[in-house]
Amino acid sequence: MISLEEELSEKMSKLLAEEIDREIMIDMLVLTGWTKVELDRLKDRYESIDIELWIDDNCTGKYTKLGRTFVFEKKEDAEWFSLRWL
């Protein structure tokens, strides 16, 4: 039987590995021509939701995000995003 400490350690390790994989993926996308935009901060969780809704309504290309880092397939989407959210 796995102890609570071991279970938490395993979950935290998995989350850390996923975050590292995501960072590597973002770096690879940037190397292939995607545009990276980093926000200084988010005001609150509601702003995060507003950003997602804005992207759905206004961006035509693909995108991905990790925390406050957004990466856009189309440079124009990144430019409009920057004008709105930076």
What share of the chain in percent tops pLDDT 90? 84
For residue range 20-58, what is the model confidence (pLDDT) as tens digits? Answer: 999 999 999 999 999 999 999 888 889 999 999 999 999
**What is the average pLDDT across 7-29?**
93
More confident residue, 79 or 44: 79
Q: What is the pLDDT of residue 45?
A: 87
User: Global pTM?
Assistant: 0.82
Q: Which residues are CB-contacts of 36 (< 8 A; sequence separation ≥ 6)?
A: 26, 30, 69, 70, 71, 78
Cα separation, 57 vs 51, whole angstroms: 10
